[in-house]
Structures are given as structure tokens and as C-alpha cells.
Amino acid sequence: MSRIFITGSAQGIGAECARQLLAAGHEVVLHARNARRASTALAANPTASAVVAGELADMCSTRALAAAAQAAGPFDVIIHNAGVGGGNGDRTETVDGLERIFQINVVAPYILTCLMPLAPRMVYLTSGLEANGHWAADDLQWNSRDWDSMQAYSDSKLHDSMLSLELAARHPESVINVVDPGWIRTQLGGPDAWDSVEDGAESQVWLATSHEAVATTTGQYVKRREVLEPNPITQDAEARAALVAELERVTRLRLP
């Protein structure tokens, strides 16, 4: 039996991951962005060990979340599931003055990784759209480029893959992988997506619990239990180091 922390587990893929893990007898700590959604999370998975709240679009709140989650640990597995889609909206900034998609999808998991002990197994969520992500080292927050919300989302998922693989390279003592869950029928994926939420959670649950060779190998890009080739920029150590350096500058935190 493992103790597992899942970010963004009030609904969608995160809630389904929790459901499957709880059904298998594991202990799960949920996360929601506020108290109201925390109640929703517990209603969906009432046998969860705890639920912690924290807004990922706010660095102070994300830091407090890290402390609350750490107090609910230690964890055998951490699944960085939370994220926001591109939609069709205008570029917006958070209370911290950061581009919103970049902060929620990239900065927030970086902060949590910096402030919480590494678990023996770590899973980060990306998207198949990371294949379309652009590495724009001098404009990660779309300050100078013409805004494109879906491209910004694709870029953020590329950054998640880069962060995961950089962490795996630095910490071979943990099993750290990045997962493409597929195009899933959730609020983020939309009603036209072709895969069920059960399918979207399956690989993360497997990586969290299986003793099969792929599930216990680090530094991989996984979809449906299969190791795939990610965006080539993820293999560029200099680019990964540059991303980490920018995240360190923005957050004033260093990776463990």
C-alpha cells in the first residue's frame, strides 16, 4: 500500500486517478484550489486520507499548499496532475504578474517540487500537444510574441516534459516520468475528445503502483504504458537547464 498525493484531484483525470488508487487500497491525499472545491473532491472520493487546498495561480498560495501537503505526507508517489487549458481567451496575468498558463502549468509544479521532498516515484502530466511546443527561451511568458492561447498551452506542456526529464537526470534515486494521458473527455479536454476519463488516469495509476520494468524505469515519456519519443527539445540538456534557471529566477527557489 502506497501513500499518494495528486494535485488537481477535485475533478477530471485527477479525481479518477484518486478513485482508481483508493479502490486498489492505497492512501490518497487530494488537492483542490479552494475550500469549496475541496468539499467537492472529498464528496467524489470520501475515503481519501485528506484534502489540501491551494491556488496554483498564486505563488504564496502554492507555497502554503506545499507546506500543507508535506504535513500530510510523507508520500511514496506524487502525481503532478493539475493544469489549465489554452481555450481561446486573451493573455492574462496572475497576481504575481506572470502569464497565467505558464504559472499554473509550469511554475506551480516547479514550486511544489522545490518545497516538498522528492517521492520515490514522481509523475508529471504533459499532453500530446507538447509535440507542437516551441522552445522560446527569451519569451517563455509571451511578453513579445503575438498571443496564441493554444500555442501557449502546447509550450507549457513542453516545459512540463522538460522539467520532468531534467529532474529525472538529476535524481536517479527516484523514478520520475512524464505522462501523456491522451485527449480525454473532461472539462479541459471537452466533449469531443475520444478517450474516457478512465483511460486518461490509467497510465498514471500504473506508473504509481506497478513493479513492471517500464513503470520502474526513470526518465521516460509514457502514454498507455508505452514509452514514446517526446519533443526533441526535451533531450537538449542546455535548454532544460535554461528553463530551470528561469523558473529559479521567477520563484527564487532551487530544485532539490
Q: Which positions are catalytic? A: 153, 157
| Whole-number Å distance between alpha carbons of 148 and 89 | 9
Contact 19, 42 (CB under 8 A): no
Amino acid, res. 244:
V
Evaluate the omega torsion of the peptide bond into residue 181 and state whether it is cis, within 30 degrees of 0. no
**CA angle 143-233-237, nearest 5°?**
100
Q: End-to-end CA distance of the chain, in Å?
A: 26
| Whole-number Å distance between alpha carbons of 132 and 153 | 10
| Whole-number Å distance between alpha carbons of 97 and 75 | 32
> Which grid coordinates are listed for 30?
487530494
Closest to 29 measured CA to CA, from 7, 51, 46: 51
The single-letter DSSP state of residue 187 is T
Amino acid, res. 126:
T
| Whole-number Å distance between alpha carbons of 111 and 140 | 17
